[in-house]
């Protein structure tokens, strides 16, 4: 059993001495630290030192003692609760993750991070911005207040320019890695980043169409996403490389906000394809591609004989009326790579090393929506 100056269990009797008078007693300090971990899951050395009226060095020494006693886990800048009494390895880093949403694309990215978080000695804390800069900044501030050692961030560009984003991110006092974003700003390019090479993914789709004999590849893109510009770049580059004829290029509305507008846009696309002899189309996203297939079937068209379709993204592509060939981003691999890169950055000592930009390549998942054209198909 620990003596009065040793580590105490979270359930030990509380001292009745006022904090101002007892803060310099190890037992009182230990109780305070354990209580903060019990309530919040973590405690920061700097904040605890200010609350107790002692130096950070004293608090860090207390945390070391409590860790040796198996009552918490020490991390950079403070301590966190043990995941379980029998955990073979305790987390050493608290990592904040801020993504735009939890319904499309990013859930699998976060699952990839989670799959290696134990091996990386990291605990993840998630914040969601809903594509709102004000919410995003509040989420980052909340994570910083929790004492995160590093930040994985997919910044929102809506309503602000790159220089504004760069100025804000530069002010974040912990290592920050940018997720799934392509920026032209030199300031933003100075940050570590891990993203999918979406231009390569679009080029894969065009290459596949060309290999099947299609000479025109239409493009239909939901433009209100950070992915859309790269999809356009990849489609354009691959179409030039294969010397393909001009084909329809349309912008699609979201659909959930105005289903009738999306239906009109899809039927207009089908009209353009028929008028130009276009027999293949790359559609971003896979939800939009599914609806295009439905519209084509309603017209009596055969997919893929009359119209071959490749979806960009692979969330629901396999569940379309005609299962969709799809460009499949490496979401989980991206999450794993991002967390590894950030943990390595946080662990650096001495001068900061050069920024790291990692691009992962998507793959093409071939299904029924993109088969060989028949000799009778128009070109």
Beta bridge partners of 94: 123
State the SS3 of the chain. Answer: CCCCCCCCCCCCCCCCCCHHHHCCCHHHHHHHHHHHHHHHCEEEHHHHHHHHCCCHHHHHHHHHHHHHCCCCEEECCEEECCCCCCCCCCCCEEEEEEECCCCCCHHHHHHHHHHHHCCCCEEEEEEECCCCHHHHHHHHHHHHHHCCCEEEECCCCCCCCHHHHHHHHHCCCCCEEEECCCCCCHHHHCCEEEEECHHHHHHHHHHHHHHCCCCCCEEEEECCCCCHHHHHHHHHHHHHHCCCCCCCEEEECCCCCCHHHHHHHHHHHHHHHHHHCCCEEEEECHHHHHHHHHHHHHCCCCCCCCCEEEEECCCCHHHCCCCCEEEECCHHHHHHHHHHHHHHHHCCCCCCCCCCEEEECCEEECCCCCCCCCCCCCC
For the chain, what's the residue count? 379
Rounded to an integer, the average pLDDT of 236-255 is 96
Q: Which segment of 4-18, 213-227, 259-273, 304-318 scores lowest on mean pLDDT?
A: 4-18
pLDDT level of residue 121 (50, 70, 90 thresholds): confident
pLDDT level of residue 83 (50, 70, 90 thresholds): low
User: Could you give the percent of the chain with pLDDT greater than 90?
Assistant: 63
Q: Which segment of 45-59, 118-132, 295-309, 362-376 scores lowest on mean pLDDT?
A: 362-376
Q: Say which residues have a Cβ less than 8 Å from residue 97's Cβ, sequence separation at least 6.
A: 110, 113, 124, 125, 126, 127, 151, 152, 153
pLDDT level of residue 80 (50, 70, 90 thresholds): confident
Q: In what order do the strands lie in the sheet with 192-196?
A: 122-128, 93-99, 150-153, 176-179, 192-196, 357-360
Please write the tens of the pLDDT for every residue from 330-343.
999 999 999 999 99
- Tell me the fold of 93-196+332-360: Rossmann fold (3.40.50)
Domain boundaries, the chain: 1-90, 93-196+332-360, 198-329
Whole-number pLDDT of residue 7: 38
Rounded Cα–Cα distance for residues 174 and 147 (Å): 9
The mean pLDDT of the chain is: 87
Could you check whether 93-196+332-360 and 198-329 share the same CATH topology? yes
Please write the tens of the pLDDT for every residue from 211-240.
999 999 999 999 988 899 999 999 999 999
Please write the tens of the pLDDT for every residue from 17-26.
344 444 567 8
CB 285 within 8 A of CB 231: no
Dihedral sign (CA 228, 233, 235, 236)? positive
Beta bridge partners of 357: 193
Rounded Cα–Cα distance for residues 361 and 195 (Å): 9
What is this structure's pTM? 0.74
Chain centroid offset of residue 265 CA: 30
Please write the tens of the pLDDT for every residue from 173-204.
999 999 999 888 888 889 999 999 999 999 99
Whole-number pLDDT of residue 102: 82
pLDDT level of residue 3 (50, 70, 90 thresholds): very low
pLDDT at 4 over 50: no
CATH code of the domain made up of 1-90:
1.10.10.10
Structure tokens at 258: 């105005």
Residue 119: Cβ within 10 Å count:
12
pLDDT level of residue 112 (50, 70, 90 thresholds): very high
Dihedral sign (CA 281, 223, 292, 130)? positive
CB 327 within 8 A of CB 310: yes
Whole-number pLDDT of residue 186: 86
> May I ask the CATH architecture of the domain 198-329?
3-Layer(aba) Sandwich (3.40)
Rounded to an integer, the average pLDDT of 158-168 is 89
Which residue bears the tokens 């981003």?
329
């Amino acid at each position: 059993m620990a003596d009065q100056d040793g580590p105490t269990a979270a359930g030990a009797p509380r001292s009745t001495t006022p904090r101002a008078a007892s803060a310099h007693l190890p037992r009182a300090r230990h109780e305070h630290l354990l209580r903060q971990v019990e309530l919040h899951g973590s405690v920061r050395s700097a904040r605890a030192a200010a609350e107790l009226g002692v130096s950070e060095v004293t608090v860090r020494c207390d945390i070391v003692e409590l860790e040796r006693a198996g009552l918490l886990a020490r991390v950079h800048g403070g301590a966190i609760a043990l995941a379980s009494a029998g955990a073979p390895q305790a987390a050493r880093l608290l990592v904040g993750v801020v993504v735009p949403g939890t319904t499309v694309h990013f859930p699998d990215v976060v699952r990839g991070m989670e799959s290696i978080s134990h091996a990386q000695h990291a605990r993840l804390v998630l914040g969601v911005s809903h594509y709102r800069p004000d919410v995003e900044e509040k989420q980052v501030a909340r994570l910083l207040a929790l004492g995160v050692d590093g930040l994985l961030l997919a910044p929102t560009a809506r309503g602000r320019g790159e220089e504004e984003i760069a100025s804000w991110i530069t002010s974040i006092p912990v290592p920050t890695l940018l997720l799934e974003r392509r920026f032209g700003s030199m300031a933003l390019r100075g940050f570590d980043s891990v993203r999918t090479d979406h231009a390569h993914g679009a080029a894969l789709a065009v290459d596949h169409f060309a290999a099947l004999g299609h000479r025109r590849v239409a493009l239909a893109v939901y433009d209100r996403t950070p992915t859309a510009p790269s999809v356009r770049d990849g489609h354009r580059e691959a179409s030039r490389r294969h010397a393909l004829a001009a084909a329809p290029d349309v912008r699609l509305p979201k659909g959930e906000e105005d289903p009738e507008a999306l239906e009109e846009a899809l039927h207009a696309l089908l009209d353009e394809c028929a008028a130009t002899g276009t027999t293949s189309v790359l559609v971003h996203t896979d939800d939009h591609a599914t609806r295009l297939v439905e519209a084509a079937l309603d017209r009596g068209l055969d997919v893929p004989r009359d119209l071959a379709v490749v979806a960009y993204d692979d969330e629901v592509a396999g569940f379309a009326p005609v299962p969709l060939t799809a460009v499949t981003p490496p979401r989980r691999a991206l999450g794993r790579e991002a967390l590894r890169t950030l943990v390595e950055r946080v662990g650096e000592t001495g001068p900061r090393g050069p920024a790291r930009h990692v691009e992962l390549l998507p793959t093409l998942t071939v299904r029924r929506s993109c088969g060989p054209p028949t000799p009778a198909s128009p070109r």
